[in-house]
Amino acid sequence: MIESRYWKKELLDYAKSLKNQKEIKRWSEKSQVIFEKDLIINFFIIRKLIETKRISDSLRQKKYKIKAYPKNSIKLTELNSFEFDELYKLEKFEIKEKNINFICNQLIHSLTIFAFRENKKWNNVIMCSDFEKNKWIYKIDLKTIIEILTDFGNNYPENITLIYNESKQDYDMKIE
């Protein structure tokens, strides 16, 4: 990746489309799949920007609030992984602060992902990776998703400091 502005523009365009979403007249499996696919692709873009050092360290470390619902005692299997209302205590949640790497992993490696609508518009996503499935399931609201997309779409670091690290035979980078 040489120039990140095209990738970042994609994030901003998607954030704008979510802000300006129109009422969905007909709820269909296809509309849900398209929403989930676009969401995963945009969070993969964020992860790619982080891994190619196109995002500031401070943004990479920023924490976002998401809801976490604990797993109950029902055994999770391949056959019941989408029955999250039975597998997790949805009446009991904690607000957790998680960094972007954690959130990206929940979406990109999602065992469970399910988008919800209220008032004929998308408003939040249930997600959990295979790694987290026996601990928690997470809910991220649309406002937080838009905030993340906007933060990363507008982040253009101005300074990079390189310090050679003898033990790893490579440079440590500080990006701000």
Which pLDDT belongs to residue 78? 86
| Domain count for the chain | 1
- pLDDT at position 120: 79
Given this model, what pLDDT does residue 149 score?
98
Give the per-residue pLDDT at 119: 78
CA–CA distance, 9 with 7 (Å, rounded to integer):
5
**Single-letter amino acid, residue 135:** K
Cα 107 to chain centroid, rounded: 5
pLDDT at residue 82, rounded to an integer? 85
Query: What is the extent of the structural domain holding 100?
Result: 5-175
| pLDDT of the residue at 1 | 56
pLDDT tens per residue across all 176 residues of the chain = 568 999 999 999 999 999 988 777 777 888 889 989 999 999 999 999 999 999 999 999 999 999 999 999 999 988 998 898 999 999 999 999 999 999 999 999 998 898 887 777 889 999 999 999 999 999 999 999 999 999 999 999 999 999 999 999 999 999 99
Q: The pTM is what? A: 0.92
- DSSP letter at 22 equals P
User: Residue 172: enclosing H or E segment and its boundaries?
Assistant: strand 170-175
> Which residues sit opposite 173 in a β-bridge?
162
